[in-house]
Chain A
Amino acid sequence: MSVLVYIENTEGQFKKSAFEAVSYGKAVADQLQTEVIAISIGTVKEDELQKLGGYGATRVLNVSTDNLSSFVNQAYASIVATAAQKENASVVVLSNTFSGKGLAPRVAAKLSAGIVSGASALPQINGDTFEVQTSAFSNKAIATVSVQSAMKVLTINPNAFASKETGGSATIEAYTPDIPSTDFSTTVQEIVRATDTISLPEAEIVVSAGRGLKGPENWGMIEELAKVLGAATACSKPVSDAGWRPHSEHVGQTGIVVSPNLYIAIGISGAIQHLAGVSSSKTIVVINKDPEAPFFKVADYGIVGDAFVVVPKLIEALKKHKGN
């Protein structure tokens, strides 16, 4: 028996969510009194792979052939499922990233495994019962899901489970399963990635603004605030609909769901569809000139005031704080 964790890399590097996935896998493996094995696909250097050992992986299966350098979910799913069978894995863990969403259900279907996406806590394992919590109804409920198949697939949201160093080390093994050529039916033509900004789904701090900002020309202070905090920027739906900000920044029920440590909402009313995407943030700060804005009801801290006055002051105060 084992726990298998698929580790996603971005251009050969592991992100924070990769280590969170290993740590989650390690905690599950501890419950099952077994080991956690990591699998990496693509071109990743030995010293990067080695880092996984530091979070509890005892072995790392390294799958690196030229045709796998870009993400092809069919082929990747075949590899992960084949490895799960070879290693007699009872649980397969993946990050609930955009690629993870395209991969995990295929792995589950190949293994006839029950899958829970976005597990928000460790599973409760009791003999044959295996239960996991996840959010449902757009963060308005928590569902406890019982997984009834022998093999289980779990995905975890970025920033939902803290990584934990174990100080261990792993052996790295080259792994080259046979993958049918029919699994290579998609071809990546182009990847565009903003390198200078922090990725929204993974950000620990998010600075978000809404229609209260009046127009795209006023986003300079939002970007500056984000920069001081090392935060990602986000916006409400009407803001991206109006073309003030790109759609990729829109959070909420129909946009990206985030759960940062700190979410700062500026000039956003707090409509239920907006809250659906942000209400699992650990700390929420609201800046709004209307004391009746619904957002204050879910906020931890709030300032009733004009964003054009408050935000510049906040930037100054933070600069002063960072300076100390």
Chain B
Amino acid sequence: MKILVCISNVPDTTSKITFTNENTAFNTTGVQYIVNPYDEIALSKAVDLAAAASGSVTTITVGDASTEPTIRKALAIGADNAVRVDAAASDAWFVANQIAAYAKNNNFDLILTGRESIDYNSAQIAAMVGELLHIPSVSVAKGIQVTNGQASVEREIEGGKEVLTASLPIVIGTAEGVAEPKIPNMRGIMGARSKPLEVIAAIAVEPLTKIKSYATPPARGSVTLVNEDQVDELVSLLHNNAKVI
């Protein structure tokens, strides 16, 4: 089984988010980058599936050379080889087209992404790649099983879950529950240095959206503390002031 895992290079979850160039660009100064946490889940699942079916795991990242430490981390977790499309990830349409173009020529049985990237949180890539390749997709999966060329996917729905089946190939966006994230060990980290990381040129695609500017969410007013012996007062504040009950 040939598996492709899409890896996005994102700011560490605790990063302070600030902007430069009159709030038109994300300020990367001092920011630590990591493998998008959901992609770690996707990758861990891929490594397990490949081990069970003597398959292989390739990762793909659309990004410039600064994404390579993140890609090496993915190799350390257990991917066999990596591809980097040498271009800035300008929008989801651009990224999805790069991934689809690479996948088209390489016959993967399974393409895994994270359910969303924690920087732009758009949750668009899985379904877009599926559409561009004319194959099924599931955007928010909580469980994946693959047997005899057939995928059984547990999908999150409001207040429950849905189980669906589809023949491979399929694109699946993974969420919590699909696999326990693997932590790279020393052997993995050493081995990652010599694993192949191929850099390919991007295909020409016009992005369809552009981030014009950023703003910081409005600050919340300071907290109104209520004494623990006066919960009635909290109820009245919620009813009369906040008007939420």
Binds A, one of B55-63, B66-74, B185-193, B215-223: B215-223
Contact yes or no, A98 B226, CB < 8 A: no
A242 sits at the interface (CB 8 A) = no
Q: Nearest A residue to B19 by beta-carbon distance?
A: A141
Q: Nearest B residue to A114 by beta-carbon distance?
A: B208
User: Once A and B bind, how many residue pairs between them come within 8 Å at the CB atom?
Assistant: 275
Q: Nearest A residue to B159 by beta-carbon distance?
A: A199
B83 sits at the interface (CB 8 A) = no
Taken together as a complex, chains A and B put the C-alpha atoms of A197 and B92 apart, in Å, by 35
Contact yes or no, A190 B162, CB < 8 A: yes
Contact yes or no, B37 A105, CB < 8 A: no
Contact yes or no, A318 B213, CB < 8 A: no
Taken together as a complex, chains A and B put the C-alpha atoms of A202 and B213 apart, in Å, by 29
Contact yes or no, A186 B242, CB < 8 A: no
B179 to chain A minimum Cβ distance, whole angstroms, is: 13
Interface residues of A toward B: which range?
A: 35 or more
A93 sits at the interface (CB 8 A) = no
Q: Nearest A residue to B13 by beta-carbon distance?
A: A273
Enumerate chain A residues within 8 angstroms of B17, measured Cβ to Cβ. 137, 140-141
Enumerate chain A residues within 8 angstroms of B224, measured Cβ to Cβ. 300-302
Contact code string B86-129 (vs A, CB < 8 Å = 1, else 0): 00000111001000000000000000000000111111111110
Tell me which residues from 192 to 220 in chain A have a Cβ below 8 Å from any Cβ of chain B: 192-194, 197-202, 205
Taken together as a complex, chains A and B put the C-alpha atoms of A193 and B159 apart, in Å, by 6
Q: Given A99-B157, A145-B210, A317-B235, are A253 and B37 neighbors across the interface (CB < 8 Å)?
A: yes
B104 to chain A minimum Cβ distance, whole angstroms, is: 14
Q: Nearest B residue to A257 by beta-carbon distance?
A: B121
Contact yes or no, A109 B228, CB < 8 A: no
Taken together as a complex, chains A and B put the C-alpha atoms of A105 and B19 apart, in Å, by 28
Enumerate chain B residues within 8 angstroms of A283, measured Cβ to Cβ. 238, 242, 244
Taken together as a complex, chains A and B put the C-alpha atoms of A74 and B134 apart, in Å, by 9
Contact yes or no, A141 B214, CB < 8 A: yes
Contact yes or no, B210 A141, CB < 8 A: no
A77 sits at the interface (CB 8 A) = yes
A166 sits at the interface (CB 8 A) = no
Binds A, one of B43-51, B136-144, B195-203: B136-144
Contact code string A75-114 (vs B, CB < 8 Å = 1, else 0): 0010000000000000000000111011111101110111
Taken together as a complex, chains A and B put the C-alpha atoms of A272 and B136 apart, in Å, by 35
Contact yes or no, A101 B121, CB < 8 A: no
Contact yes or no, B228 A201, CB < 8 A: no
Q: Nearest B residue to A95 by beta-carbon distance?
A: B158
A211 to chain B minimum Cβ distance, whole angstroms, is: 17
A309 sits at the interface (CB 8 A) = yes
Enumerate chain A residues within 8 angstroms of B118, measured Cβ to Cβ. 137-138, 253, 276
Enumerate chain A residues within 8 angstroms of B244, measured Cβ to Cβ. 205, 261-262, 282-283
Q: Nearest B residue to A231 by beta-carbon distance?
A: B245
Q: Given A102-B137, A102-B138, are A300 and B242 neighbors across the interface (CB < 8 Å)?
A: yes
Q: Given A193-B160, A296-B223, are A186 and B165 neighbors across the interface (CB < 8 Å)?
A: yes
Query: Which residue numbers of B lie inside 8 Å of A, CB to CB?
Result: 11, 13-14, 17, 19, 26, 37-38, 91-93, 96, 118-128, 130-132, 134-140, 142, 152, 155-167, 176-177, 207-217, 220-221, 223-228, 231-232, 234-239, 242, 244-245
**Additional A-B contact list (4), CB under 8 Å, known A106-B130, A276-B13, A304-B228:** A105-B127, A117-B122, A138-B13, A145-B210
A-B contact pairs, 20 of them (CB 8 A): A74-B136, A98-B139, A106-B130, A109-B127, A117-B122, A137-B26, A137-B120, A137-B121, A143-B120, A143-B211, A143-B214, A146-B210, A189-B163, A205-B245, A280-B217, A282-B244, A283-B244, A286-B223, A301-B224, A303-B234
Query: Which residue numbers of A lie inside 8 Å of B, CB to CB?
Result: 10, 15, 71, 73-74, 77, 97-99, 101-106, 108-110, 112-118, 131, 135-149, 182, 185-194, 197-202, 205, 229, 240, 247-248, 250, 253-255, 257, 261-262, 272-273, 276, 279-280, 282-286, 296-306, 309-310, 313-314, 316-318, 320-321
A-B pairs with lowest CB-CB distance, top 6: A305-B228, A114-B208, A193-B160, A199-B159, A105-B127, A109-B131
